[in-house]
Copies of this chain bind each other. A is one copy, B any other.
Amino acid sequence: MSTGRNPGLRERTRRAVRAELSRTAMDLFTRHGYEATTVDDIAAAAGISKRSFFRYFPQKEDVVLADVELLGDEVVRGVAARPVDEAPWDSLAAVLGEWAEGILSTTAATRRLRLVEGTPALRARLHTTRDELRRRVATALCDRDGVTLDRFEAELLTAAAAAALDTASHRWSLDPDADLRGLVTRAFEVLRPAAATLE
């Protein structure tokens, strides 16, 4: 078995098919809408069977959100790498601000975020995975050496940070010319907690 380095033919073709499926699906979604596009449509357009589609993406939503969820790992790592003497809120603001810039770096990611914002089913799924991510980020905040942060407070700060990000994204999705990074920064300023959670 070779996961990661030295992919091997199997792993290589698998990734290629996944990427191709992802491209095909996003194309159909943006043209006909997410709901109006059936898994059969995607599979047919990609030249595989419906059953095989589900072998690459366990759920239809995954074809849109799979890589987004991988981005979660970066957020967790980013938080863990922040200086211990920084206020947790600033750590979250910094990491999620970077995240916002990452989203804007490619037009594909931008288009995807707009699709998600405009599709209730995808937004719901995003909420679900973000719940998971929030828990991990809260853990990362607490588990750094030399940090004594109440678990409940960590969860609250993380949830509020997610709320800031969410509100900023939503606002941005309504206005094509809006500056996402700026909205995120302002959101974190407005919601900065008064309680000094760290000296």
Contacts and interface: CB of A to CB of B under 8 A. Distances in A.
Interface of A: 120, 123-125, 127-128, 131, 152-153, 155-157, 159-160, 162-164, 166-167, 170-171, 183, 186-187, 189-195, 197
B164 A159 contact: yes
A170 B155 CA distance: 10
Copies of this chain in the oligomer: 2
A186 to B, nearest CB: 7
A152 to B, nearest CB: 6
A131 B183 CA distance: 19
Contacts of A197: 190
A187 B156 CA distance: 7
B155 A159 contact: no
Contacts of A131: 123
Contacts of A186: 152
A120 B189 CA distance: 32
Contacts of A167: 152, 155-156, 159
